[in-house]
Amino acid sequence: MVPVEIRRVRLVSLLATVALLNGPPAAARQPGRSGSDSPVAAARRTTGTIRVDGRLDETAWQSADPIGPLRQREPIENAEASEQTSVRVLYTDDALYIGVVCGDRSARGIISTQLTRDANLDVDDRITIVLDPFYDHRNGFFFQVNAAGARADGQVANNSETLTRDWDGIWNAAARISDDGWIAEIEIPFKTLRFKPGQSVWGFNIERQIKRRQEIDRWAAPRQNIWIGNLAEAGRLEGLDGIRQGRGLDVRPYLSGGEGNSGSELAGGVDIFQNITPNLNTAVTVNTDFAETEADIRQVNLTRFPLFFPEKRTFFLEGSGVFDVAGLANTTDIRPFFSRRIGLVESVAGD
């Protein structure tokens, strides 16, 4: 017979575990900076055409106020940056434009090795931009560009507790290396993002990496214990008035075919995404196609337990942060909802 004291200890432990699971993530419990402490930047409206070519030679760029300065996060926290970085933000009714001039007195030392989409740009000279369109200090998007123009992006949820690098937004960027450094020009259509109509203030932050010096310079919160995805520490981007998100409808049809010894094969399907409200969207799929999904990393399983593979299918990545409970979605031990099981076909003996 189990003593009453042990039963009580187990009951208390169980209640404590449940309380931890249902509590907010650690980052959410940490108080963010107040709005008055956050650095403020102004976006300048333009009616002209911006050509994304990495040159910033349109007159509209000269009318935008520069954002700055950027200060060191690494190696010396909050020290003056070793190189000058000038950031300007423009917008039209339909898109946000960010121009970054990365001065470098030793431009020959600029490192730019990656050229593919969603590559690891941490090995290069690059810039990272985070946007918090709802200005809720919890959910947003990040965009990266290196000196060669390679791009990477992703979603941030629960104030950096959940990071989804497999999200691929529709946006454009170009970069150019010169004798004085390098320039990045970025265009982000508002249709790519979700935001509340009339929300003229967004969370915003930007950092630059000078790889050969192991230096990272940042605009807001240049502290080593703060990752740039921590939206509670981001600055404020003001002046985004009269922007349009469009219909919020994304239709992705597909058609595939093949010819072989056994005959021909033709298949089709469609994925439909519709934003009902800024905070609510619906997704419908008919015979969805995963042919363009990135292949999983090959693993060898010598145990009786199944292997874990992260979700990379676009249809299931949409809004996946909703299923993150107390920051547990980034762990392989506890998954409130595991969409990779959807679409699996159980093997049949003899097949």
All structural domains of the chain, each given as residue ranges with its CATH number in brackets, are 26-238 (2.60.40.1190), 247-289 (no CATH), 304-351 (no CATH)
E strand intervals along the chain: 40-42, 44-45, 71-74, 85-91, 95-103, 126-132, 140-146, 151-157, 162-164, 172-178, 181-189, 202-210, 215-218, 235-238, 249-260, 263-277, 280-286
N- to C-terminal Cα distance for the chain?
Answer: 51
Q: For residue range 99-153, list pLDDT tens digits in order.
A: 999 999 999 999 999 999 999 999 999 999 999 999 999 999 999 999 999 999 9
pLDDT value at position 289? 66
Task: Provide CB contacts within 8 A for 79, sequence distance 6+.
Answer: 71, 72
pLDDT value at position 330? 52
Largest CA distance in the chain: 83
Average pLDDT across the chain, whole number: 82
**Of 73, 94, 19, nearest in space to 85 by CA:** 73
pLDDT value at position 128? 98
Task: Provide CB contacts within 8 A for 323, sequence distance 6+.
Answer: 329, 336, 337
> Looking at the predicted structure, is the pLDDT value of residue 326 above 60?
no
Place of tokens 């010169």: 178
Q: What pTM, to 2 d.p., does this model score? A: 0.74
Q: What's the pLDDT band for 291 if we cut at 50, 70, 90? A: low
d(CA 132, CA 45): 19
| One-letter amino acid of 67 | I
> Which residues are bridge partners to 98 per DSSP?
89, 186
> Looking at the predicted structure, is the pLDDT value of residue 26 above 60?
no
Find out whether 116 and 96 touch, Cβ atoms under 8 Å.
no
**Of 88, 46, 81, nearest in space to 66 by CA:** 88
Percent of the chain, pLDDT > 70? 77
Q: For residue range 163-218, list pLDDT tens digits in order.
A: 778 788 899 999 999 999 999 999 999 999 988 888 999 999 999 999 999 999 99
pLDDT value at position 305? 83
Task: Write the DSSP symbol of residue 124.
Answer: S
The pair of structure tokens assigned to 100 is 């970054």
